[in-house]
Amino acid sequence: MWKPVSLRTRVYAILFTLVVITFTGSMITVWYTFRMEEILVSITEKHLQTFQTAESLETALVNQKGFVSYFFLDGDPEWLRQLGEYRQIFKEKLNAARHLADTGIQLEVIDRIDHEYSAYVSAKDRVIAYYKDGDKENGFKLHKEVRYLFFTILDLCEQYKEMQIDRIHKATEDGHAQAGKMRYMSVLVSIFVVIMAITLIFFFIQHILEPLRKLAGEASRMGPTAAPQNEIKSLSHSVRDLIEDVDQTHTELQKSRETLLQAEKMALVGKLAAGMAHSIRNPFTSVKMRMFSLGRTLKLTETQKDDLDVISQEIRHIDTIVQNFLEFSRPPKLKMQQVSPSVIVDLVIQLLEHRLISYEVRIEVIRKRPLPSIPADPEQLKEVLVNLVVNACEAMKKGGQIVISEEETIERPTGRMVVIRVSDNGPGIPGPLVDKVLQPFFTTKEEGTGLGLSIASRIIEEHGGRLNLTSTEGMGTTFTITLPVGN
């Protein structure tokens, strides 16, 4: 039944219902408080005032009873004056009772009291007149009749008072009934609020918290676990982890694309190099031999000899390019043997001695002790070091210094490693180009192929090591070779 309705609408509907029920219950409670206040006012003000008036009537009537007898005994007119005062009080209370009466029965009783009281006063006045005239016998007889009227009025006052007591009891019962209704409504509203609260809690658990918990468990790197204490916080962590995973995956995908492009380039270069090996190298070998033969048999002038030397150098350069392509496309298989990298460093310095002198470059080796023997291909390592030293010499056109430092270190988890750093104090490499230097076909030389450093990096990687580059423009360049010592 909830499927056509959105989650937000369901939440709002439950909250709205809960608010309406709570508000309605509050309004009913407020209304009942006013109702209770009205009942209380009715009891305390009107009914109680009417009851007090009824008692005052009865008291004023009782007080009139003895004044005439007292007058007969001592003849003091003060008793008659007090009788007049209480008659006036009775009249005032009777008028007050008439104003407070709000039912026909009350008015009927008050009218009867008024009628009987008028007869009572008239008879009482005749009794007083008989006694004043000295006719005590007739006064005594009439006085008995007056007593009958007195008790009749007293019964009516008592009846009127009982009516007020009944009304107070009825109002009290009404107040209890209203209080019971209010309690009933409060309990009913409370039950509805509890039911809606339970419904809301169940809804949040089933449709929000439980899906959030499952989503957090599925999104978590650790997989579904026990119910978390804070589903929102757990989901936030999981989403953050997913974002990190996406970023990492994107980075790895970018690297994979670069690797794929690199592989495509290598495949293309391999095909090109294979064709060049047959189409270019063999003819150039014949040309070199013919040039060498002509140089020895012909009598050439100095200018012709210079021209012949230039042609020979260019042919050797082309042969070097072809050789680099062949090495890049079909690298030779490593011939591993135990050798100390320090021995190879010394051999490279010896081989390049004349070239260093021609470039006016000084070379220095920093070595505390010879590096331990490692499994390596000496010729391939020699090619790497030669490439690095020659590049450093070509970078320092006006001379400079190359420092080769050696050290042994321990890395986890690979273990013992040998490190060889080749540093120069040349112009350095601009920052944007540092990451491109080791890529194939990238070169800053006018006649370079862009394969030398790429081949060197691949050779080191085939040895299980790595070739790193650090450079600061204007402060020189450092190539770091890291190779595992092995068992």
| Angle of CA points 191, 193, 198, to nearest 5° | 95
pLDDT value, residue 196: 74
User: Locate tokens 């790197």: which residue?
Assistant: 221
pTM, whole model, 2 decimals?
A: 0.40
User: Locate tokens 């790497």: which residue?
Assistant: 384
Q: What share of the chain is helix, strand, coil (3-state, %, to 5)?
A: 70, 10, 20
CA distances (Å), 32 to each of 26, 189, 192, in order? 10, 14, 19
Cα–Cα distance for residue pair 122/303, rounded to 1 Å:
176
Beta pairing class for 466-472 and 415-424: unpaired
Say if CB 481 and CB 465 are below 8 A apart. yes
Report long-range pairs for 279-283 (Cβ below 8 Å, ≥24 apart): 280/318, 280/322, 281/319, 281/322
Q: What is the full per-residue pLDDT of the chain (487 aa) written as tens digits?
A: 445 566 567 667 777 777 777 777 677 776 766 666 666 665 556 667 777 777 887 787 787 777 777 777 777 788 888 888 888 888 888 888 888 777 888 888 888 888 888 888 888 888 778 877 777 777 777 877 788 888 888 888 888 888 878 877 787 777 677 767 777 777 777 787 778 778 777 777 777 767 766 776 666 555 544 444 555 566 666 667 767 777 777 777 887 777 777 767 666 665 665 555 556 656 666 676 767 677 667 777 778 777 777 777 667 666 666 666 555 555 567 788 999 999 999 998 888 888 888 888 899 999 889 989 989 888 888 888 988 888 888 888 778 889 999 998 888 777 889 999 999 988 887 766 766 666 665 565 555 555 677 778 888 888 888 888 888 888 888 889 999 987 6
3-state SS string for the chain: CCCCCCHHHHHHHHHHHHHHHHHHHHHHHHHHHHHHHHHHHHHHHHHHHHHHHHHHHHHHHHHHCCHHHHHHHHCCHHHHHHHHHHHHHHHHHHHHHHHHCCCHHHHHHHHHHHHHHHHHHHHHHHHHHHHHHCCHHHHHHHHHHHHHHHHHHHHHHHHHHHHHHHHHHHHHHHHHHHHHHHHHHHHHHHHHHHHHHHHHHHHHHHHHHHHHHHHHHHHCCCCCCCCCCCHHHHHHHHHHHHHHHHHHHHHHHHHHHHHHHHHHHHHHHHHHHHHHHHHHHHHHHHHHHHHHHHHHHCCCCHHHHHHHHHHHHHHHHHHHHHHHHHHHHCCCCCCCEEECHHHHHHHHHHHCHHHHHHCCEEEEEECCCCCCCEEECHHHHHHHHHHHHHHHHHHCCCCEEEEEEEEEEEECCCEEEEEEEEEECCCCCCHHHHHHCCCCCCCCCCCCCCCHHHHHHHHHHHCCCEEEEEEECCCEEEEEEEEECCC
Residues 6+ apart with CB under 8 A from 167: 47, 50
What CATH fold (topology level) applies to the domain 255-330?
Answer: Helix Hairpins (1.10.287)
Biggest CA–CA distance in the chain, Å, is 200
Say if CB 418 and CB 401 are below 8 A apart. no
- Per-domain residue ranges of the chain: 7-209, 255-330, 334-484
pLDDT value, residue 1: 43
How far is C-alpha 51 from the chain's CA centre? 69
Cα–Cα distance for residue pair 54/59, rounded to 1 Å:
9
Q: How crowded is residue 12: how many other Cβ atoms within 10 Å of its Cβ?
A: 12
Cα–Cα distance for residue pair 456/462, rounded to 1 Å:
10
pLDDT value, residue 279: 62
pLDDT value, residue 85: 86
CATH number, domain 7-209, options 1.10.3720.10, 3.90.79.10, 1.20.120.1730, 3.30.70.20: 1.20.120.1730
pLDDT value, residue 446: 52
Pair of tokens at residue 65: 């009873």
pLDDT value, residue 406: 92
- Could you tell me which CATH number the domain at 334-484 has? 3.30.565.10
Q: How crowded is residue 257: how many other Cβ atoms within 10 Å of its Cβ?
A: 10
Cα–Cα distance for residue pair 154/159, rounded to 1 Å:
8
Cα–Cα distance for residue pair 326/122, rounded to 1 Å:
154
